[in-house]
Amino acid sequence: MKTRVQRPELITKVNVTPIIDVALVLVIILLVTAPMMSMTKMPVDLPEARTREAEDQRNVSVTIGTTGEYAVDEKTVPAVLLKSELARRLAEPGNEGVLVVVRADTSVPFSTIRHTLQDARAAGATRLAIATRQRTEKRP
């Protein structure tokens, strides 16, 4: 009598679980690092304020450093080119009505911030904000 040897069944389908795991990890890394990429590495000590929680929205960040240097998002620009760089960024597709956030060190004179806000308005910004550091104390 002949005995049949059973062979294991061949796996013919691709296992996509490891691919999905890697993709989800990459998405999480992107979501965590994306907000950090839109601002310059220029150190800025923001003033404190009590305001509502920051809204999750797209914005263009204008940073004013302690020595008067400017940056639009991650790109450092000379003061004379600030208005044209802002106008270029605001003219990009999808940036209509975007919030322009001015981040300035506490040592920067308010007149410089005011001129920056005027330049942003002249460049076409319709929504402006000044970034502040949130107080950590709890309200009574």
pLDDT in tens, 3-40: 777 878 877 788 888 899 999 999 999 888 877 776 66
In a domain, 32, yes or no: no
Among 49, 79, 58, 66, smallest CA distance to 108 is for 66
In a domain, 4, yes or no: no
Contact between 95 and 126 (Cβ < 8 Å): no
Q: How confident is the model at residue 54 (pLDDT cuts 50, 70, 90)?
A: very low
Cα–Cα distance measured from residue 61 to residue 34, given in angstroms and rounded to the nearest whole number: 14
pLDDT in tens, 115-140: 989 999 998 888 888 887 766 555 55
In a domain, 124, yes or no: yes
Cα–Cα distance measured from residue 129 to residue 59, given in angstroms and rounded to the nearest whole number: 10
- The domain that contains 114 carries what CATH number? 3.30.420.270
In a domain, 60, yes or no: yes
Side-chain-side CA neighbours of residue 137 (13 Å):
5
Please state the domain count of the chain: 1
In a domain, 123, yes or no: yes
81 is in which domain, residue-wise?
A: 39-134
Residue 8 is encoded by which pair of tokens? 């294991």
pLDDT in tens, 58-96: 788 888 888 888 988 888 898 888 898 888 888 888 878
Cα–Cα distance measured from residue 82 to residue 87, given in angstroms and rounded to the nearest whole number: 9
Residue 80 is encoded by which pair of tokens? 């004379």
In a domain, 140, yes or no: no
Q: Given this model, what pLDDT does residue 95 score?
A: 79
In a domain, 99, yes or no: yes
In a domain, 18, yes or no: no
Q: Average model confidence (pLDDT) for the chain?
A: 80
Return the higher-pLDDT residue of 48 and 60. 60
